[in-house]
Amino acid sequence: MPLRLILILGLLSGLGPFCTDLYLPALPSIQKAFNQDYYILGIHFSSASLVNLTLAGSMFGIAWGQILIGYLSDRYGRKNVLLISLFFFVLSSYLCSVSNHIFELILWRFLQGVSAAAGVVISRAMGYDLFKGESLLRFTAMLMLVFGLAPILSPLFGAFLLEFITAEWQSLFVTLAILGLLLGLSSWFFLTETLPASSRNKGSFKEVLNNFKSLLTNQQFTLYLFINSFAFGSLFAYISASSFVFQNIYHLDKTQYSYLFAFNALGVMIVASSVAKLATYFQAKNILKYGIYATLLGSIGVLFALFFTPNSLLLLEIPLFFVVSGFGAISSTSLAEGMNAISGNAGVASGLFGVVSFTLAGLIAPLVGVAGESNALPMGILFLLCNTIAAMLFFVAQRKI
């Protein structure tokens, strides 16, 4: 496999998580810059909740962008759709950097998420076009490595920029604009079209939505779909709240926060990479069960720590690590069990997992800030709520077998 091709596609695959996580160390600074509460339709939105809506906006964009861009790339070809998407990624990143109002930032983050989804979708699609068999497996493994490293490295890089280059949060979005420009130029000069016109899908977008509808009538598939989604919702409650919790409550600086975030993300990677080996000895549903146990017990431990030892970061981090790392066992096994429950439409089913999980994560993101930027209790409650629902759905799924 050409190294240059793998490098470009690998960087494209990490664009979504990179644009989501790079600015996490700056969330408290953004909250201070737009420090104003709003009442919308009679509902109170704190400044912390509104800042978390910038995360939610990007998640909604990535969720629905995967479906839209996947359809467009199947219909019109990979390269042109990728280049247009990267143009909008650069534009939206720049607009984020010059936003004067929190609602402007939320809007441009949504557009940034939609365009970043092109990197995730089209990098995989080009791999499927170019490689088969063992080569495809190696290519996918390379993409997953970059996809897994992005959430670990991006907050570290963001903290480095803020601590040693410039303290302005706007610089992070300028950095993303430069990254998008470099990826656009690399794609223009070094990538070729991998989907010939004769192989393109001429179906309508309505057919994609109809396929979603038919999949949701499969109860077993739907149960595992929502197990995956609520587990991801729990993880995203942590991602949304972590910057405020560790910096505002436990007074870590941006670099210390990024190290702790990277440590927890590494736990997810280690557990997720261990699932393939464990599958040799245990059924996927048993690995899934123990992953759910870990997140549920961790959620109880987090609430216990917040209530009874609120000043101890260590006693919070121990159960929190179980909540975050447990997702590594749930994500792949719930996806596998869901896919085993259907016959055909694997690509559409995989896309539906992405849409539902990212949409639910976007709905959860602003909820962690309902009590303000210096209260971690909403995070703990959302952990327990999401993981309890996932556990209940799992036991219902087992009774239906």
Digit-by-digit pLDDT tens for the chain (401 residues) are 677 888 888 889 888 888 888 888 888 889 888 888 777 777 777 788 888 889 889 989 998 888 888 888 888 889 999 999 999 999 999 999 999 999 999 999 999 999 999 988 888 788 878 887 667 757 766 776 676 677 777 888 888 888 888 778 999 999 999 999 999 999 999 999 988 888 887 778 788 788 788 888 999 999 999 999 999 999 989 988 888 899 989 999 888 988 898 899 888 888 887 876 787 788 888 889 999 999 999 999 999 999 999 999 999 999 999 999 999 889 878 888 887 887 766 656 777 888 888 889 888 888 887 766 778 899 999 999 999 999 999 999 988 65
Q: What is the DSSP code string of 210-265?
A: HHHHHHTT-HHHHHHHHHHHHHHHHHHHHHHHHHHIIIIIS---HHHHHHHHHHHH
Radius of gyration of the chain (CA): 21
How high is the pLDDT of residue 155? 84
pLDDT in tens, 288-325: 999 999 999 999 999 999 999 999 999 999 999 999 99
* Rounded CA separation 267/8 (Å): 27
Same domain, 195 and 213: no
Same domain, 236 and 105: no
Same domain, 109 and 45: yes
* Rounded CA separation 196/198 (Å): 5
How high is the pLDDT of residue 236? 87
| Residue where a domain terminates, one of 175, 202, 229 | 202
What CATH number is given to the structural domain containing 279?
Answer: 1.20.1250.20
Same domain, 245 and 387: yes
Same domain, 45 and 150: yes
3-class SS of residue 53: helix
198 burial via Cβ count (<10 Å: 0-12, 13-18, 19+): exposed
* Residue labelled with tokens 């706007």: 170
Q: Taking the alpha carbons of 123, 125, 130, 131 in that order, is the dihedral positive or negative? A: positive
Same domain, 148 and 93: yes
Same domain, 208 and 345: yes
CA angle, 241 as apex, 364 and 302 as ends, to 5°?
95
pLDDT in tens, 15-37: 888 888 888 888 888 988 888 87
Same domain, 237 and 292: yes
Q: Which CA distances in Å does 89 have to 40, 95, 247, 323?
A: 29, 10, 29, 32
Number of domains in the chain: 2
Same domain, 197 and 216: no
Look up the pTM and report it: 0.82
Same domain, 324 and 214: yes
Same domain, 231 and 266: yes
Read off the tokens for 316.
Answer: 């919070």
- Residue 335 belongs to domain spanning: 204-401
* Rounded CA separation 259/112 (Å): 26
Same domain, 277 and 358: yes
